[in-house]
C-alpha cells in the first residue's frame, strides 16, 4: 500500500503536479515513517551524498537525518561509501531493497540490535526471556517484514517499559506504618467536605490498627483514608439524624438495621449482635437512665463485648467515643 505526506519542497521523487510523494506503508510500519521516506528517495535517486540529502529532504534537520541514516545502515538497508555517499543495499548491484521475508524459527537478533537494546537499559536476561515468545508469535502469524531486527527491538522496548512500570508500582507499595498520618492535602479535602476535625482524628487510630494487623501493602494510603472517613461520616450523620429527645429504655426496644450494618463493617456478625440485646436491655431498664440514641449506645456495647470475647479489651473503654461506632473497617 502507499502512503502520502504533504511537503513544502519538491524533491525529484515528488509529483510535479502536487506537494505529495509516495512511500511504502509497510516499510514505514516496519522501520519507521522517516526512514521509509529516505529509502524511497534513495530508491528513486540512486547514490546521493549527505549534502544532497540535506538539500532535497530539507524537512529533516541534520541531527535527525544522521540518526535515520545510521539506523538504516545498522539494519543493513542502505550502505555508506568511503566518499560519504549513500545508496540502497541490495543483493545485486542496482536492484531494489531486499524483499520482505518470514521470520526464521531459529531467528536471533543481530549484535547491533542487542547492543542498542542494552544501551537503552534492557537486560540480557530479559532479552533471552522475550525472544522465544517473539519468534513463536510471528511464526504463527506468518507475517513478513523488511527487518525482524527492528521489529524485535520495538517489541523489546515496549515490553521493557511495561515491566519497569510494574516494578515501579510494586516498589511504591508499602505496609502502613504505625505512626502513619494523612497528608496535609488529604486533611484539606476532608475539611472542605465539612467533616469535623475531631471525627477525622478519632478515625485515624482504628484505620491504622486495621491495616497494620493485615500487613497489606499499598501505594495510596491517603486515598484509602479519604474513602474510609467519608463513608463513616455519612453513616454517622445518618444515625445522628435519627436522634430524638432523651428517652428511657423500653422493654420492646430493638436496634435498627443500620446498627447491624455498622457492626458488620467491624466484622461483627449479626447473630452475635442479636445475642447481646437481652443483656443490654436489662441493664438499661434497671438503671432507668435516659439517652438520646440507644442505637449508638448498643453499638458501643456490642463492640466492647466482641473485643472481650476475642481477648482484646486493652484500652477499649478509653477509645469508645460517641461516634466510634462510625469507623468503617472496610476501606
Q: According to the model, what pLDDT value does residue 240 have?
A: 66
For residues 139 and 241, state if they share a domain: no
For residues 311 and 251, state if they share a domain: yes
Query: Taking a C-beta distance cutoff of 8 angstroms, is the pair 170, 205 a contact?
Result: no
Q: Would you give the DSSP letter of residue 14?
A: B
What is the secondary structure of 145-180 as a DSSP string? ES-HHHHHHHHHHHHHHHHHHHHHHHHH-EEPPTT-
Q: According to the model, what pLDDT value does residue 171 have?
A: 61
Q: According to the model, what pLDDT value does residue 316 have?
A: 41
Query: Taking a C-beta distance cutoff of 8 angstroms, is the pair 54, 129 a contact?
Result: no
Q: Would you give the DSSP letter of residue 324?
A: G
Longest CA–CA span in the chain (Å) reads 109
| pLDDT over threshold 60, residue 330 | no
Residue 94 in any domain: the answer is no
In the block, cell 483514608 appears at 225
Q: According to the model, what pLDDT value does residue 30 have?
A: 67
Q: According to the model, what pLDDT value does residue 88 have?
A: 81
Query: Taking a C-beta distance cutoff of 8 angstroms, is the pair 138, 103 a contact?
Result: yes
For residues 161 and 31, state if they share a domain: no
For residues 311 and 226, state if they share a domain: yes
Cell of 225: 483514608
For residues 210 and 315, state if they share a domain: yes
Express each pLDDT in 250-306 by its tens digit: 888 899 888 888 888 777 889 999 999 999 999 998 888 888 778 888 988 998 888
Q: Model confidence at 320, in pLDDT bands (50, 70, 90)?
A: very low
Residue 40 in any domain: the answer is yes
Q: Which residue has the higher pLDDT, 171 or 125?
A: 125
Residue 156 in any domain: the answer is yes
Domain that holds residue 206: 184-326
* Nearest residue to 273 (alpha-carbon basis) of 284, 283, 288, 261: 261
For residues 245 and 161, state if they share a domain: no
Q: What is the mean pLDDT of the chain?
A: 78
Overall domain count for the chain: 3
For residues 203 and 322, state if they share a domain: yes
Q: According to the model, what pLDDT value does residue 329 have?
A: 37
Q: According to the model, what pLDDT value does residue 8 have?
A: 40
For residues 236 and 120, state if they share a domain: no
For residues 188 and 58, state if they share a domain: no
State the CB neighbour count (10 A cutoff) for residue 157: 15
CA pair distance 89, 95, nearest whole angstrom: 8
| pLDDT over threshold 70, residue 11 | no
Phi-psi region of 311 (alpha: psi -120 to 50; beta: other; left: phi over 0): left
Residue 179 in any domain: the answer is no
Domain termination site, one of 51, 67, 88: 88
CATH of the domain at 59: 1.10.10
Q: According to the model, what pLDDT value does residue 1 have?
A: 38
Domain termination site, one of 171, 201, 222: 171
For residues 251 and 315, state if they share a domain: yes
Terminal-residue alpha carbon distance, the chain: 55
* Residues ≥6 apart with Cβ < 8 Å to 219: 169, 172, 173, 174
Q: What is the pTM for the complete model shown?
A: 0.34
Q: Which residue has the higher pLDDT, 299 or 82?
A: 299
Residue 9 in any domain: the answer is yes
Q: Which residue has the higher pLDDT, 83 or 286?
A: 286
Lowest-confidence pick of 6-10, 96-100, 151-155, 224-228: 6-10
What mean pLDDT comes out for the span 115-131? 84
CA pair distance 202, 204, nearest whole angstrom: 6
Residue 56 in any domain: the answer is yes
Residue 266 in any domain: the answer is yes
Q: Model confidence at 70, in pLDDT bands (50, 70, 90)?
A: confident
For residues 302 and 250, state if they share a domain: yes
Say how far residue 222 (Cα) sits from the centre of its chain.
Answer: 17
CA pair distance 321, 195, nearest whole angstrom: 16
* Nearest residue to 176 (alpha-carbon basis) of 220, 119, 110: 220
Domain termination site, one of 130, 145, 171: 171
For residues 164 and 211, state if they share a domain: no
Residue 93 in any domain: the answer is no
What mean pLDDT comes out for the span 98-119? 82
Q: Model confidence at 102, in pLDDT bands (50, 70, 90)?
A: confident
* Half-sphere exposure for 230 (CA within 13 Å, toward CB): 15
Amino acid at each position: 500500500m502507499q502512503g502520502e505526506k504533504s511537503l513544502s519542497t519538491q524533491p525529484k521523487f515528488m509529483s510535479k503536479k502536487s506537494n505529495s510523494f509516495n512511500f511504502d506503508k509497510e516499510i514505514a510500519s516496519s522501520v519507521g515513517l522517516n526512514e521509509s521516506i529516505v529509502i524511497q528517495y534513495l530508491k528513486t535517486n540512486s547514490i546521493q551524498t549527505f549534502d544532497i540529502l540535506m538539500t532535497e529532504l530539507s524537512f529533516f534537520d541534520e541531527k535527525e537525518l544522521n540518526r535515520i541514516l545510521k539506523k538504516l545502515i545498522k539494519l543493513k538497508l542502505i550502505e555508506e561509501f568511503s566518499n560519504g555517499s549513500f545508496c540502497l543495499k541490495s543483493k545485486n548491484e542496482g536492484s531494489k531493497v531486499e524483499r520482505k521475508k518470514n521470520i526464521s524459527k531459529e531467528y536471533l537478533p543481530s549484535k547491533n540490535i542487542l547492543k542498542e537494546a542494552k544501551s537503552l537499559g534492557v537486560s540480557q536476561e530479559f532479552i533471552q526471556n522475550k525472544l522465544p515468545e517473539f519468534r513463536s508469535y510471528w511464526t504463527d502469524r506468518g507475517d513478513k517484514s523488511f527487518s525482524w531486527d527492528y521489529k524485535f527491538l520495538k517489541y523489546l522496548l515496549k515490553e521493557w517499559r511495561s515491566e519497569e512500570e510494574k516494578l515501579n508500582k510494586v516498589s511504591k507499595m508499602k505496609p502502613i506504618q504505625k505512626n502513619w498520618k494523612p497528608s496535609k492535602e488529604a486533611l484539606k479535602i476532608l475539611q472542605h467536605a465539612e467533616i469535623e476535625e475531631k471525627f477525622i482524628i478519632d478515625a485515624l487510630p482504628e484505620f491504622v490498627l486495621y491495616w497494620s494487623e493485615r500487613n497489606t501493602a499499598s501505594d495510596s494510603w491517603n486515598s484509602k483514608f479519604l474513602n474510609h472517613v467519608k463513608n463513616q461520616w455519612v453513616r454517622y450523620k445518618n444515625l445522628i439524624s435519627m436522634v430524638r429527645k432523651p428517652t428511657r429504655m423500653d422493654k420492646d426496644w430493638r436496634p435498627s438495621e443500620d446498627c447491624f450494618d455498622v457492626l458488620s463493617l467491624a466484622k461483627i456478625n449479626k447473630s452475635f449482635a442479636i445475642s447481646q440485646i437481652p443483656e443490654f436491655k436489662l441493664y438499661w431498664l434497671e438503671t432507668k437512665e435516659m439517652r438520646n440514641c440507644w442505637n449508638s449506645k448498643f453499638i458501643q456495647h456490642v463492640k466492647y463485648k466482641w473485643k472481650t470475647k476475642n481477648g482484646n479489651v486493652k484500652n477499649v473503654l478509653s477509645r469508645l467515643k460517641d461516634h466510634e461506632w462510625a469507623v468503617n473497617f472496610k476501606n
